[in-house]
Amino acid sequence: MTEKILVTGIVPREGLDELFDRFDVTYSDGEPFSREWVLEHAPEYDGMILMAQKGDREFIDAFTNLKIISLNAVGFDHVDTAYAKEKGIAVCNSPQAVRVPTAELTFSLILAAAKRLYFYDSVVRRGDWMDVSERRLQGRTLEGLTLGVFGMGRIGRTVADFGKAFGMKIIYNDAYRLDESVEKDKGYEFVSFDELVKRSDIVTIHAPALDSTRGLFNAETFAKMKHDAIIVNAARGVIIEEQALVDALENGQIAGAGLDVFEFEPTVSSKLRAMSNVIMSPHAGTGTIEGRAALAAEAAHNIVSFFDGEPINVVNK
């Protein structure tokens, strides 16, 4: 009997060939399936690619035959992984495909914030001009600056490599330290979290949303940063306390921010939206044509591997 697989969100069809070749797939290339529709039809499915839905207890309980949830993402904080494990359901993420697109967007935010592109763009668009000879109107040259990477996983290391190519000094903090040989070869310096925020000219966040990281960048943390520092976040919005960030920017405690994720997204503080020293994007880290196709293919391969008896990328073992 062929297993039935549900794809809940808008996922590129070109990434799902492997899935369609093996299974009976329910897929929409128009509007995504509503939560109500999914809950009603849940008992029919043996596996799913989950996107644009929250995998809470009610959601999981509706799937009486479900064996695997494959996430069209690297993050899995929107799924109750522990409860899924209790129910015998494997939860798998897709960490490889997101690496380059997210790192590219992160470095775009770094460049845009450092070069003050939103500010410059808005001036020119309204028909004005300026002489950037005044220091208060100038951006930063990345070469020689210190890039502090918080979370040195796949994406963090790729961003660090980009920074190195721009001539930046790389320091990092992570729960797991890289091998000494890697640090020496790459020229990366492991430091404490406090040292990271104190020394960095630009801090870029690449950590998951855990109890230990939620709200970690708060008023106390911003008070330790350089007044001309920039913070960039393309990881998880809840790692930064949004009001504390607004206060730090308003008070000149830090100089700017580049943000792809937000604490209460899709709602974003009106004060944050009004600031000319902040560049923002709508959680678009993986939002490239190539990236989304690769992400779909990785999520599909998780399901194929699982039913072949060789599960990969399982986050709730």
Residue with tokens 């914030």: 113
Alpha-carbon span 134 to 115, nearest angstrom: 14
Contacts of 81 (CB under 8 A, 6+ apart): 91, 315, 316
Whether 283 is catalytic is yes
Question: Would you call 293 helix, strand, or coil by DSSP?
Answer: helix
Strand partners, 71: 50
The answer to whether residues 227 and 252 touch, using CB atoms and an 8 Å cutoff, is yes
Helix 117-125 × helix 99-114 angle, to 10°: 60
Q: Among candidates 304, 310, 309, 249, which has minimal Cα distance to 280?
A: 249
The answer to whether residues 87 and 316 touch, using CB atoms and an 8 Å cutoff, is no
User: Which residue type is seen at 83?
Assistant: Y
Whether 236 is catalytic is yes
The answer to whether residues 292 and 286 touch, using CB atoms and an 8 Å cutoff, is yes
Provide the CB-side half-sphere exposure for 233 (13 A, CA).
25
Q: Are strands 47-50 and 146-150 parallel, antiparallel or unpaired?
A: unpaired
Catalytic residue (choose from 99, 206, 236, 292) = 236
Alpha-carbon span 245 to 233, nearest angstrom: 12
The answer to whether residues 173 and 212 touch, using CB atoms and an 8 Å cutoff, is no
Contacts of 88 (CB under 8 A, 6+ apart): 67
Residues assigned a catalytic role: 236, 265, 283
